[in-house]
Amino acid sequence: MKGWSTGGKLGLVILAAAGVVLLYGLLPQGEQPAAPLEEEALPEEPAAPDPSAPPPDDGRVNLLVCGVDETRYLTDVIMLASLEEESGRVSVLQIPRDTYVGSQVPTGKLNAVYGQKDGGIQALEKLVRELLGLPVDYYVTVTLEGVRSIVDDLGGIPMTLEEPIDYLPGKYLAAGEQVLTGQQAEWLVRYREGYATGDIGRLEVQQAFLKAAVQAVYAKGRAEAIAALVRNYSQVETDMPLLTMISLGGKVFDRGAEGISFYRVPGEGRMIGGYAVYLPDQEALRELLDLYFDAVPPREDQEKGAVS
């Protein structure tokens, strides 16, 4: 029973293990915009859904996946993984860390909610529900230390770089095929100065890394992946019940990498209150959620999977 329970948990946190290396997407010099942006008036905050409304029983389990940095104040990786209970398919939505949440926090950014005095994972869950209009059933968090170690325990993440990454002196990755260590993966996902599209370019590279990491975990197989998680078990936290982990985790792992698809909240960067933030495009977001995150059969292109 011990092996199955650990395997079930692995099947659910595999996405977090793949993504949390993205924790240090912050630039060392602080939160500066990639390009000059015009200051804008404060937009109205979206109205929250009725909290008394019961969550829909739609055959999905929505899991908030967060990467917690070394200060334990910022969640610089935020994703919603929506698992179809019957099929084991997973749709993963990247939520940019700079997503604007209004006056909830001084910076207006979603990634700062977790570390507020009255914040924590519950406050973050609430804002994600309001942003997406979807229920959040459970959460999972993974520390940066844990992901570095998991990546190294798996023997690195094979990935082809489209262009070189000159992160800092002595921290350089050549273009072409690489097997990234935990530390090198951190360099990759922090880098953004060289992209013409700035932070959007970094988000695209982060998604490519997520796909490569998922492929690598499945390629290692259940036994090796479980062993890597066991060695780093203390770095993972979740409120999902054990039996749910066993049931859903096994389905996700057995479905394979082709059953996992990645998406990103559409929007654009703005300057608000002196901070560079990310404003979601509500119309495009709703269309995306209707297509891939509601209880409707997936389109043919999703059936083929977005992990390639």
Sketch out the chain's domains with CATH numbers.
2-38+55-297 (3.40.630.190)
Confidence category of residue 304, pLDDT binned at 50, 70, 90: very low
Phi/psi-derived region of residue 52, left when phi > 0, alpha when psi is between -120 and 50, beta in every other case: alpha
Q: Which pLDDT tens digit goes with each residue over 64-94?
A: 998 877 666 778 789 999 998 888 889 999 9
Confidence category of residue 252, pLDDT binned at 50, 70, 90: confident
**Torsions phi, psi of 73, nearest 5?**
-110, -30
Q: Which residues of 235-260 are buried (b: 16+ CB within 10 A; e: fewer)?
A: bbebebeeebbbebbbbbbebebebb
Say what the pLDDT of residue 289 is. Answer: 96
Say what the pLDDT of residue 129 is. Answer: 94
Query: CA-to-CA distance for 195 and 74, rounded, in angstroms?
Result: 24
Q: How far is CA 146 from CA 196, 222, 230, 239, 240, in A?
A: 32, 18, 11, 18, 19
Answer for the pair 94, 82: CB distance below 8 angstroms, yes or no. no
Q: Which tops the pLDDT comparison, 297 or 261?
A: 261
What count of residues does the chain have? 308
DSSP code per residue over 222-254 = HHHHHHHHHHTGGGEEE---HHHHHHHHHHHHH
* Mean pLDDT of all residues in 11-17: 49
Residue ranges of the alpha helices (H) in the chain?
2-19, 121-132, 144-153, 182-190, 199-220, 222-231, 242-255, 282-292, 300-303
Answer for the pair 211, 305: CB distance below 8 angstroms, yes or no. no
Range with the largest mean pLDDT of 46-55, 160-169, 262-271 = 262-271
Say what the pLDDT of residue 57 is. Answer: 54
- The predicted model scores a pTM of 0.76
Say what the pLDDT of residue 197 is. Answer: 64
Q: Which tops the pLDDT comparison, 45 or 134?
A: 134
**Torsions phi, psi of 27, nearest 5?**
-75, 145
Q: Burial level of 152, CB count in 10 A (0-12/13-18/19+)? A: middle
Handedness of CA 111, 112, 113, 119 (dihedral sign): positive
Query: CA-to-CA distance for 187 and 182, rounded, in angstroms?
Result: 9
